[in-house]
Amino acid sequence: KTPIIIDTDPGIDDVIAITAALFAEELDVKLITTVGGNVGIENTTRNAVNLVNFLGKGTPVAKGAAQPLLNKLVNASFVHGESGVGGYRFEEKENATVLSTRHAVEEMKELILHSAEPVTLVPIGPLTNVALLLRMYPETKSNIKEIVLMGGAAQGGNRTPVAEFNIFADPHAAKIVFDEQIKIVMCGLDVTRLTSITTENIREVEGFGKVGDMVSRLLSDYDSTTSSHNHVTIHDLCAVFYLTRPEIFKGKRATVNVVTEGEASGCTVTHYTEDGHVFVCLDADVEEFRREFVSTFKKAYEKMEG
Ligand code: BDR
Ligand code: CA
């Protein structure tokens, strides 16, 4: 099993991606770290803790950066609702012991430095915590296997015409991360917009007990703002499926320059080159992705209730 840390701002698609990762046979989610992004840090952290409890897992959660490095906080509550999970309400459990008393960056450092196997980072929110980690504890770099992230776009944007939300929210952090010579897999809008899920897929998942009910309810709220023609884009799930089913994705190697100022702030300027340290996902087997979506939550249901 690949040891991973998920750095996240749940967020509807984050919740779905984390759930998929927690039940994936190929992955061992060692830690979940939270960041302010889609909504504020208190809400993203509460959502992460509630999710872990709801799924009956003991995965530790650590709260990270509330604010981007330099920019003012921008959120996406118009997509994810004020709470971050639309109208969905997790049952709050008393025994929410999974929340660490240490900062996310400290937890990441300890875990990476003490891991027998190199750790894969899976950031699916703004890159603030990851940038802080690399700057504060550069000794962790040699035990990071790769960074498989959702963010950016070789072409286009969703927060502005040229910037994707996670990069736009903290472009300075993104620049620190992309400028490192660490292997990065970029699941940006180029591929996340391709791998949409249909309403039929969601209807199927709806029948999968508690977990299916959660996924379908979350998507019914998210649907109205991010879907078109009965399709929903679950951006963050691409990063998890890249790890569990890499053969679904195709891409090219590149270097990526992040624009940090001005009108194009948050743009990920992508230069394709064979020796680039970033693998940019550009294409995917969409039918296989959809099958994987349905089978992932079927397996999660069987494990939870079977
Ligand atoms: C990204 O922005 C957030 O709203 C989503 O959770 C995802 O990580 C998509 O641009
Ligand atoms: Ca996210």
Residue 223 has pLDDT above 70, yes or no: no
Active site annotation includes 271 = no
Closest ligand to the CA of 218: 1
Pocket flag, ligand 1, residue 79 (CB < 6 Å): yes
Q: Which atom of ligand 1 is nearest to the CA of 159?
A: 10
Q: Which of 100-109, 112-121, 224-233, 267-276 has the lowest mean pLDDT?
A: 224-233
Mutate to test the pocket of ligand 1, among 74, 235, 267 (most ligand atoms within 8 A of CB): 235
User: Closest Cα to atom 10, ligand 1: which residue?
Assistant: 165
Percent of the chain with pLDDT over 70: 96
Average pLDDT of the segment spanning 222-229? 60
Question: What is residue 107's predicted lDDT score, i.e. its pLDDT?
Answer: 98
Residue 154 has pLDDT above 80, yes or no: yes
Question: What is residue 96's predicted lDDT score, i.e. its pLDDT?
Answer: 61
pLDDT digits (tens, 9 = 90+) for 292-302: 999 999 999 99
Question: What is residue 98's predicted lDDT score, i.e. its pLDDT?
Answer: 83
Question: What is residue 75's predicted lDDT score, i.e. its pLDDT?
Answer: 85
Pocket flag, ligand 1, residue 11 (CB < 6 Å): yes
Percent of the chain with pLDDT over 90: 88
* Residue 272, number of CB atoms within 10 A of its CB: 14
Residue 95 has pLDDT above 90, yes or no: no
Q: Which of 60-74, 89-103, 122-136, 157-171 has the lowest mean pLDDT?
A: 89-103
Question: What is residue 179's predicted lDDT score, i.e. its pLDDT?
Answer: 98
Question: What is residue 227's predicted lDDT score, i.e. its pLDDT?
Answer: 56
pLDDT digits (tens, 9 = 90+) for 98-136: 899 999 999 999 999 999 999 999 999 999 999 999 999
Which one has a higher pLDDT value, 114 or 222?
114
Mean pLDDT (the chain, rounded): 94
136 CA to middle of ligand 1, Å? Answer: 26
Average pLDDT of the segment spanning 177-195? 97
14 CA to middle of ligand 1, Å? Answer: 8
Pocket flag, ligand 1, residue 124 (CB < 6 Å): yes
pLDDT digits (tens, 9 = 90+) for 11-65: 999 999 999 999 999 999 999 999 999 999 999 999 999 999 999 999 999 999 9
Mutate to test the pocket of ligand 1, among 6, 7, 8, 9 (most ligand atoms within 8 A of CB): 9
* Residue 138, number of CB atoms within 10 A of its CB: 10
282 CA to middle of ligand 2, Å? Answer: 19
Pocket flag, ligand 1, residue 158 (CB < 6 Å): yes
Q: Which atom of ligand 1 is nearest to the CA of 192?
A: 9
Pocket flag, ligand 1, residue 50 (CB < 6 Å): no
114 CA to middle of ligand 1, Å? Answer: 31
Pocket flag, ligand 1, residue 222 (CB < 6 Å): no
252 CA to middle of ligand 1, Å? Answer: 22
* ipTM (interface predicted TM): 0.99
In the set 172, 235, 271, 277, the catalytic residue is: 235
Average pLDDT of the segment spanning 211-228? 79
pLDDT band for position 226 (cuts 50, 70, 90): low
Q: Which atom of ligand 1 is nearest to the CA of 158?
A: 10
pLDDT band for position 229 (cuts 50, 70, 90): low
Question: What is residue 87's predicted lDDT score, i.e. its pLDDT?
Answer: 85
Question: What is residue 230's predicted lDDT score, i.e. its pLDDT?
Answer: 76
Pocket flag, ligand 1, residue 13 (CB < 6 Å): yes
Alpha carbons 37 and 8: distance in angstroms, whole number: 8
Alpha carbons 64 and 41: distance in angstroms, whole number: 8
59 CA to middle of ligand 1, Å? Answer: 22
Average pLDDT of the segment spanning 214-222? 88
